[in-house]
Amino acid sequence: MSDRNNLLPTEADIAFFKQNGYWVAPQLLDEARLERLCEHMERVYAGQFETGRAPYNGYWTPEQGNGLRKTDNSHWADLELRALATDPVIGEIASLLMGADSIRLWHDQLLFKPGNPDRRSGGNVGWHQDYAYWQCAAEPTLVTAWVAFDDVNLDNGCMQVVPRSHQWGLLNVNDFFEQDMEKQRQGMDLPEDASFEPVPMVMKAGQVSFHHALAIHGSGPNTTSRPRRSLAVHLMTGDTRYKAGTRGDGHMNVGLLGGADGDLFAGEAFPELFRKN
């Protein structure tokens, strides 16, 4: 990574994030690292796990067809991907945006949206708020760093975020896998003064967008002939606490808390990326 100080958000950037629920960082990863990451992504898809441990699930196999490939906890399987999922600069940016003293990894998602110029298969990510799936955290003190491995724009189905939506609370429409985003939008029960105007996260490869766990986001089709590749690094502030008995209890990582009073997300399963001195 280049000089760390040029990469961190300014006061104005932090204020922008607080107001809008997202922020796009400058290029954090250079070409050589991106090349390695793409190669390691291919290794995971080929079932080659350098740690000897498989990802949580969903490492893609050809029988699954040409939709979105979503592989959870790829950092279990691969050290290059793990270095990115636990990158201290990403952690420091998250701590500044969230106003937190420390940042831990919640989980990662390796994402591959195949090129689909004839639009014959899906690949959309339906409108959702991540916290809808993460209510096992007592408060929405989570944020995602979405790392672009390729240049992304509307043509290849870049992520889109709805500014200020992190201030609207949990809404009635949350479905990552829904393909009909227009239908979702029409059914959305928004606050009266809300305006739903998604902003495309147009980025160069190596840039990283950050979005708050309550920010509404989704992505459309990749109409190019090349894949859109990325790692979504889902992070939480160090003071995030487990809350039992919610829809989030079905989340794969809840099982990792372990122990009778495992009420803190503070064990080894949730590595710390950054802590303020």
Token pair 């029409």 is at which residue? 186
CA distance 211 to 17: 8
CA distances (Å), 249 to each of 90, 135, 268, in order? 27, 8, 19
CA distance 203 to 142: 22
Residue number, 159 or 171, with CB nearest to ligand AKG: 159
Angle at 230 between CA 176 and CA 22, to 5 degrees: 65
Tell the smallest beta-carbon distance from residue 3 to ligand AKG (Å): 27
Helix axes 88-98, 11-20, angle to 10 degrees: 70
Tell the smallest beta-carbon distance from residue 153 to ligand AKG (Å): 13
Query: What are the start-end ranges of the E strands in 62-101?
Result: 69-72
Strands 102-113 and 272-275, bridge-based pairing: antiparallel
Residue number, 72 or 130, with CB nearest to ligand AKG: 130
Q: Which residues bind ligand AKG (CB under 6 A)?
A: 111, 125, 130, 144, 146, 159, 217, 219, 230, 232
Tell the smallest beta-carbon distance from residue 46 to ligand AKG (Å): 22
Tell the smallest beta-carbon distance from residue 159 to ligand AKG (Å): 4
Q: Taking the mean position of all CA atoms in its chain, how far away is CA 260? A: 29
Terminal C-alpha separation, the chain = 21
Tell the smallest beta-carbon distance from residue 190 to ligand AKG (Å): 19
Residue number, 78 or 130, with CB nearest to ligand AKG: 130
> Strand, helix or coil at 217?
strand
CA distance 168 to 161: 14
Residue number, 2 or 172, with CB nearest to ligand AKG: 172
Tell the smallest beta-carbon distance from residue 179 to ligand AKG (Å): 13
CA distance 189 to 184: 10
CA distance 146 to 218: 12
Tell the smallest beta-carbon distance from residue 125 to ligand AKG (Å): 4
Residue number, 48 or 64, with CB nearest to ligand AKG: 64
CA distance 192 to 190: 6
Q: How many residues does the chain have?
A: 277
Residue number, 154 or 264, with CB nearest to ligand AKG: 154
Residue number, 28 or 232, with CB nearest to ligand AKG: 232
